[in-house]
Chain A
Amino acid sequence: MNLRTFLLLGVLAAGAVGLQAVHELNGGMPASTTANLLYVRSPDAMKRLALSYDSLLADVYWVRAIQHYGTTRLSIDPTTQFDLLYPLLDLTTSLDPHFTVAYYFGSLFLAEPPPGGPGRPDHAIALLEKGLEALPDRWELAQSIGFVHYWWLQDYDEAAAWFTRASEFPNAPIWMAPLAAVTLAEGGSRESSRLLWREIAQGVDDEWFRNEAARRLRQLDAMDHLDGLTGAVAAFEQQTGRTPSDWEELWRAGYLPGVPVDPTGIPYRLESGVVGLGDGSPLSPLPTGPAQIR
């Protein structure tokens, strides 16, 4: 390669880089209303099109599902929706029915209401039932179906029935049968919810799910704290006949030992006598679905 060719290549490369920078400065691609595209939605069609690359395609759809969930959850655009989450997980598990983590991912995140998820417990259950059909020896899938009934649908009878079914698997852990009994007896209590999340946190292999279970446990702790703080505000109001303006007032009156913080260290908010999570708390929003949890 002579010097002139080398220089020409350098100039052309610099031109390409420069134009790409201009492209970026101008805001990139024109906005599209069809950003979330899924060309093939039929799992049967995709299985045929995959030829011998079904596992690899399942991996691609899995990565897309994770990306879709992450970008939608972090998006500040209120119109952004999780509309592709179920189709992507459905394609993933159709191409690779042994992709167990995809079923569990769906059970945790498909049912969560907006803005944290699409709010489709029916899809979560459909995905888990599909998993149970493909992997009939996985008690965890039956437990997860019970979990969706418990946490998102507050159908404690159905949840207990699924926990009982899970406990009947030959390899089920010994705590599964007591969990079914507790669900029937105390369905919806924070203590039974805690028990459930604790078992999930200890039972799952993946760090993602462990973190999510830990977050849920902290949310339950925060709900306990908020009940206590609401009680303190009510007692202050009863004693003084007015609402406290801030935590310091409650602290000076001896109702609190200091400014209360949630389990992640963020101070709780007190506005017009109403207590809640502070701005920027990673526990926000607290579960709205299982609002009856007491």
Chain B
Amino acid sequence: MRLIGQIAVNVFKESVRDKVLYNLVAFAVLLIAVSYLLGQLTAGQDMKIIKDLGLAAIASFGRLIAVFIGIGLVWKEVERRSIYSLLSKPIRRHEFVLGKYAGLALTLLVNVLVMTVAFYAILAYLNTLYPESIQVTWPAPATDPGMLRAILLIFVELLLITAVALFFSTFSSPFLSAALTLGLWVIGHFNDDLRSFEAVVESPVAAYFARGLYYVLPNFGAFDIKTQVVYALPVPWLYVVTTMAYGCVYIAMLLTGAVAIFSRRDFK
């Protein structure tokens, strides 16, 4: 466990050295610039649009980090041949894989936390620009803490994407890993269509196959409750908790697979 922690801290330090956290500046600039411009364009819908944009930006920056760093976690060590010196030390392969994963998870956590603080700070500032007569017409207060539920699920989604990227990177090239991860993420938004596939095909085999895929493929759409929180629609905590549990089980499955594949790899 201590070794996993040390590897994780190293991955985090490396991401800081690689200036990954610069995206936080891009996030802040994007939100401030958009908030300034939107008032003229949106016919009174600026607060809703800034919330939509902020939540989408937190998810998007996180996804880019999860995919493009996730695919290089193992590959970089192999490419630099530093994997030989690493594995010659008393580090077991599963510790190496889990440490790498935990390190990127820590990077993502710091990213999401900082972006969330910046997001709420900008919303709090914008809130001061509107009179109370306008504020009462919003479906939710500017700094509605209910949005944290969406951010929590975004974070779990990012952890899942990282696990997918790491899984693919244990046996394929970075380009292929990125393509497979992004492909799986896209397919993961079509789960509802897979469930109702039997309505559009006549072949029972195809319908069963689609139904099977519906259960097996990760349901990324389930993590998206951004619209609901922006309108302050009810999102029961039970839903949030079961979706988080679903994400955690899927992550555990992918990490187990990644460890199993990596353990069998021959680096001679």
Q: What is the CA–CA distance of A62 and B52 in the complex, to the nearest angstrom?
A: 13
Q: What is the CA–CA distance of A56 and B45 in the complex, to the nearest angstrom?
A: 12
Given contacts A56-B52, A59-B52, A98-B233, 18 further A-B contacts (CB under 8 A): A48-B193, A51-B186, A52-B220, A55-B227, A56-B56, A59-B48, A59-B49, A62-B42, A62-B49, A63-B49, A66-B41, A67-B41, A96-B227, A98-B231, A101-B45, A105-B43, A205-B44, A207-B44
Closest CB of chain A to B86's CB: distance in Å?
A: 36
Q: Which residue of B lies closest to A67 (CB)?
A: B41
Whether, in the assembled complex, B100 has its beta carbon less than 8 Å from a beta carbon of chain A, the answer is no
Whether, in the assembled complex, B95 has its beta carbon less than 8 Å from a beta carbon of chain A, the answer is no
Whether, in the assembled complex, B69 has its beta carbon less than 8 Å from a beta carbon of chain A, the answer is no
Chain B 185-227 against A: per-residue CB contact (8 Å), 1 yes, 0 no? 1100110010000000000000000000000000011011011
Contacting pair A52 B221 (CB below 8 A): yes
Whether, in the assembled complex, A208 has its beta carbon less than 8 Å from a beta carbon of chain B, the answer is yes
Instruction: Classify chain A: how many residues form its interface, as a range.
Output: 20 to 34
User: Which A residues are CB-close (under 8 A) to B83?
Assistant: none
User: Which A residues are CB-close (under 8 A) to B53?
Assistant: 56, 59
Whether, in the assembled complex, A77 has its beta carbon less than 8 Å from a beta carbon of chain B, the answer is no
Which chain A residues have a beta carbon within 8 Å of chain B's beta carbons? Answer: 48, 51-56, 58-59, 62-63, 66-67, 96, 98, 101, 105, 205-208
Contacting pair A52 B41 (CB below 8 A): no
Contacting pair A48 B59 (CB below 8 A): no
Q: What is the CA–CA distance of A267 and B93 in the complex, to the nearest angstrom?
A: 87
Whether, in the assembled complex, B137 has its beta carbon less than 8 Å from a beta carbon of chain A, the answer is yes
Contacting pair A62 B227 (CB below 8 A): no
Closest CB of chain B to A130's CB: distance in Å?
A: 17
Contacting pair B43 A208 (CB below 8 A): yes
Contacting pair B52 A52 (CB below 8 A): no
Contacting pair A55 B45 (CB below 8 A): no
Q: What is the CA–CA distance of A208 and B221 in the complex, to the nearest angstrom?
A: 35
Q: Which residue of A lies closest to B136 (CB)?
A: A205
